[in-house]
Chains A and B, each alone.
Chain A
Amino acid sequence: MSQLTEERMLDSGEKELVLDVRTQDMEINMGPQHPATHGVLRVVLTADGEILTSADPHVGYIHRCAEKVGENVDFDGYIPYTDRYDYLSAMNNNVGFALVVEKASGLEVPPRATWLRMIVSELNRVASHLLAFGTYGIDIGAITPFLYGFREREWVLSLFEKICGARLTYSYAFPGGVINDAPGGWFDEVLKFCDVFDRKWREYDDLLTRNKIFIERTKDVGSVTADQAREFGWTGPCLRGSGVRYDLREAQPYLFYDQVGFDVPIGRGEMGTVGDCWDRYWVRMAEMLQSTRIVRECVERCIKDTTPGEVMAKKPKTLKVAANEAYVGIENPRGELGHYLVTDGGAQCFRIKVRGPSFTNVSCLAKLLPGTMLADAVAIIGSIDIVLGEVDR
């Protein structure tokens, strides 16, 4: 520590002598084994006491060459790999890859399969946001919401287990449709879940969303303007939290999203500035209610309009796709999950590129963290809701 005088230039052009006590900044290595980094993210922080002066995110600790693997297995064989990039929303990933293969090959999907895909996608969105809600509570220091979130998430996972046999890596949607039709009574249970969930949602609202301390911790923290959010390449709840109404389900409808009614919640700066942590969190909370709304409508249409059993298109045992290229972006719980597929007539992807939302969203950390406090850094990382499996792929 040394005491020194410093000359500082004022805006008016005058020079000012400042007596300043300078201390050495501390370099802290947050992660890859830190409880708040949600996986193996590593952020090298420089801190002046509690206040951060710089942040340098490092990613890639669990890179598994997912895209390269895609060039070596057939289209159906790649589906389980899609499960593993964003393992909290495996259903959406399956659907995303299935859609791009269908677009490139022109496979026709039975309507029942499309409705089922929508139901599981939205249920998965609920499950994923529930986990985001719970872990965000833990980041802020409240542990109970995590358990509450898991309680309902377990129910969704049991529903998935009934329809596809797996609880985390589903491999449910394949090019051409889905592997199983819904078992008997499944739709009733889905509707029951939606009703119960809407009631439980109010519990979360009381416990965490409207909690004074929670609001104090998240409002005006990590505020991102709409322009900044676009510059970061943000998509999904993070972008909508900054007040941009951009949801691929609405902007470029895929599946049958143009046939169902839903709102796109956006951040309005209800508690502080637009695009703060609370807004991003709130968008996720509000989206869950929209998801159950979509699920209800999908279940109704699925039962009414389609014949049971027709869930997979007729396709050869090994699907070969003529030379073509296609891009399909879907609204993953974390943002736009894009698959860019190039085929060459073989049974494998010639090249598959995944545009992951978490990977793009995490890029903001170096810009957002400096100037905030250490505890805010945790709040900001949590509010972006990254899944490192997908960041690293």
Chain B
Amino acid sequence: MSVTSVCLELGASLGHVQDGSYDSRGLFKDWDWFGREGLWGFVGMALSLAIIVGVCSVVPILFVWVERRGSGRIHQRKGPNRVGPFGLLQTLADGIKLMFKEDIIPANASRFLFMIAPGLVLAGVFAAFALLPLSSTGVIVDAPLGIYIIAAVLSLEVIGVIMAGWASNNKWAILGAMREAAQMISYEVPMGLCILLAIICHDGELSLRAMSENQAGGFLNVGNWLIFSNPLFAFPAFVIFFIACLANTKRAPFDLPEAESELVSGFHTEYSGIRFSFFFLEEYASMFLVSAVTVMMFLGGWNIPFVPGEMLTGGFVGEVLAIGSTLVKTFFLVWVMIWVRWTLPRIRVDQVMTLCYKYLTPLAFLCLLGSCFWEA
């Protein structure tokens, strides 16, 4: 499939959205618990929101625990082990502590921006979760433009971070915000190119669910995974995308906006209590999100080796298996992020730009071009 046809496809799906003829599959249509009309439709919507918020809050808590215990392992120390079994409730205890702390707003801060910035940051990730499919029907909003909306909504988070740094009226915070801005314009280019590559390789599909379905079949149900079906170009693109994701989530070695040894705490220096916990939550939620997107685009989505692809897209067992497989793959990528953080030093802000512009962007272009020929 060529670039032209991708564009045509894109236009076509936009058209479908406009005239309402696109078969928007989603959790509450296919599973059809409540129907879509009237009061029950409203209940369904409320329930789906509750699911997003629940996943958004529980998953980070789990990851924080994994990070703390994992870093403990890496550091040859124990990590939290007192609250709950294996210290599982430590994050919850910390969250409760943060909630009851005084919410300090510096006297010279821009109050309104200071107050809404953490919310904006969190809202970006929460919104993107709605579009994230965990299985073929396990998606709350299956928008035909899924990946673009996710990419757009994720950029909202950056605005929140810059806003927080600016509003704090703190020099370290503004430096952190500046770094975030510089970093964002650097990593977004290769990231966008890798997304384009995935779209091209997946027959112009923009929905993550369709991308994942597209990767079913092949040798042992692995052969069609993008990184294996197009190893020459999609595999490097996967690596580039993952590096860009690290930068997107402000994880080491790209944790420049917070850079605790340079900028004290960077953009959230002045934040405390519940507002700080929003930033904290957001970091782990977006780790989950970008990892899941990577899995959907490159790592075969919910497909499991040896299990036929059709089995995973229908029926209760298939759904459960699919969700489980997505989660396992995603958790693995999150673990890699944690692993990288506790291994690598931080790179400098000019090196981020050098890396992204001089190496990742041309390489991503090359992969994109190569994929066009590969898929043609």
Residues of A within 8 A of B (CB): 26, 28-29, 34-36, 47, 49-50, 137-144, 147-148, 151, 207-208, 211, 213-214, 216-217, 373-376, 378
Check B175–A50 contact: CB distance below 8 A: yes
Interface residues in B329-376 by Cβ distance below 8 A to A read 342-351
Most B-side CB within 10 Å, residue of A144, A211, A216, A378: A144
Query: Is B264's CB under 8 angstroms from A137's CB?
Result: no
- Check B345 against A376 for contact (C-beta < 8 Å): no
1/0 per residue B215-250: CB within 8 Å of A? 000000000000000000000000000000000000
The 3 tightest CB contacts between A and B, nearest first, are: A141-B346, A147-B75, A142-B345
Query: In the complex, A214→B344 CA distance in Å?
Result: 8
A34 to B253, CA, bound (A): 21
CB B254 to nearest CB in A, in angstroms, measures 10
Given the complex, which residues of B lie within 8 Å of A148, measured CB to CB?
Answer: 75-76
With A35-B264, A141-B252, A144-B74 already in contact, the answer to whether A49 and B345 are too (CB < 8 A) is no
- The verdict on A142 contacting B347 (CB below 8 Å), with A35-B264, A374-B175 known, is no
Known: A216-B351, A217-B348, A373-B348. A378 touches B343 (CB 8 A): no
Q: In the complex, what distance in Å separates the CA atom of A50 from the CA atom of B348? A: 10
A-B contact pairs, 26 of them (CB 8 A): A26-B174, A28-B171, A28-B172, A35-B261, A47-B175, A50-B350, A137-B345, A138-B261, A139-B261, A140-B261, A141-B253, A141-B344, A141-B345, A141-B346, A142-B344, A143-B71, A147-B76, A147-B77, A207-B343, A211-B345, A213-B344, A213-B346, A213-B347, A214-B345, A217-B348, A373-B348
Partner of B261, one of A47, A151, A378: A378
Q: Is B94 an interface residue (CB 8 A)?
A: no
Chain B nearest CB, measured from A346 CB (Å): 48
Q: In angstroms, how far is the closest chain A Cβ from the Cβ of B218? A: 35
A28 to B173, CA, bound (A): 11
Q: Which of B71, B253, B261, B343 contacts A36 (CB 8 A)?
A: B261
Shortest beta-carbon distance from B157 to chain A in Å: 22
Q: What is the CA–CA distance of A66 and B82 in the complex, to the nearest angstrom? A: 43
Please judge, given known A-B contacts A34-B264, A375-B259, whether A144 and B346 are in contact too, CB under 8 Å: no
- A208 vs B172: C-alpha distance when bound (angstroms): 27
The smallest C-beta distance from A269 to any residue of chain B, in angstroms, reads 20
A213 to B343, CA, bound (A): 11
Cα A216 to Cα B76 in complex, Å, equals: 27
B344 to A, closest residue via Cβ: A213
- A36-B262, A139-B261 known; A375 and B252 CB under 8 Å? no
A375 closest partner in B (C-beta)? B348
Contact B259 A141 (CB under 8 A): yes
A217 touches B260 (CB 8 A): no
Distance of A141 Cα from B75 Cα, bound (Å): 15
Contact assessment for B344 and A211 in the assembled complex, using a CB-CB cutoff below 8 Å: yes
CB distance from A31 to the nearest CB of B (A): 10
Chain A contact residues: helix, strand, loop or mixed: helix
Smallest CB gap from B260: residue in A: A35
Q: B319 at interface (Cβ–Cβ under 8 A)?
A: no
Q: Is the CB of B345 within 8 A of A217?
A: yes
In the bound complex, what is the Cα–Cα distance between A151 and B77 (angstroms)? Answer: 10
Separation of A140 and B255 alpha carbons in the complex (Å): 11
Nearest to B75 among chain A residues (CB) is A147
Q: Is A140 touching B351 in the complex (CB atoms < 8 A)?
A: no
Separation in Å of the A44 CB from the closest CB of chain B? 12
Contacts of A207 in B (CB 8 A): 343
Chain B positions within 8 Å of A139 at CB level: 261
Chain B nearest CB, measured from A65 CB (Å): 31
Q: How far is the CB of B241 from chain A (nearest CB, A)?
A: 20
Measured CA separation A216–B346 after assembly (Å): 10
Q: A376 touches which one: B253, B261, B348 (CB < 8 A)?
A: B348
Closest to B172 in A: A28
**Cβ B175 vs Cβ A140 within 8 A:** no
The answer to whether A151 and B349 touch (CB under 8 A), given A35-B264, A142-B344, is no
Bound Cα distance A375, B350 (Å): 10
Report the bound CA distance from A375 to B351 in whole Å: 11
Extra contacts besides A141-B252, A142-B344, A207-B343 (7): CB < 8 Å: A35-B261, A36-B262, A50-B178, A147-B75, A213-B253, A375-B349, A376-B348
A214–B252 CA distance with the chains assembled, in angstroms: 13
B33 CB, nearest partner CB in chain A, Å? 46
Instruction: Tell me whether B171 and A26 are in contact (CB under 8 A).
Output: yes
B74→A140 contact, CB < 8 A: no
A137 to B350, CA, bound (A): 20
A211 to B344, CA, bound (A): 8
- Specify which chain B residues have a CB less than 8 angstroms from the CB of A213 in the assembled complex: 253, 344-347
Contacts of A144 in B (CB 8 A): 71, 74-75, 342-343
Residue in B closest to A26 when the chains form the complex, CB atoms:
B171
A137 to B347, CA, bound (A): 12
CA distance A151 to B75 in the complex (A): 9
**B25 CB → nearest A CB, Å:** 44
Q: Identify which of residues 166-190 in chain B touch chain A, using a CB-to-CB cut-off of 8 Å.
A: 171-172, 174-175, 178-179
Residue of A nearest to B350 (CB): A373
- Output the least CB separation between A216 and chain B (Å): 6
Alpha-carbon distance A216/B71, docked complex (angstroms):
24
- Name B348's closest neighbour in chain A (CB-CB): A375
Cβ A143 vs Cβ B346 within 8 A: no
A36: B residues at CB distance < 8 A: 261-262
Task: Report the minimal beta-carbon distance from B56 to chain A, rounded to whole angstroms.
Answer: 27
How far, in Å, is A24 (CB) from chain B's closest CB?
A: 12
> CB-CB < 8 A to A373: which residues of B?
348-350
> Which residues of chain A have C-beta atoms less than 8 A from B343's C-beta?
142, 144, 207
Within the complex, the shortest CB–CB distance from A281 to chain B, in Å, comes to 12
Contact, CB under 8 Å: B261 / A141: yes
Q: Which residues of B have CB within 8 Å of A375?
A: 256, 259, 262, 346, 348-349
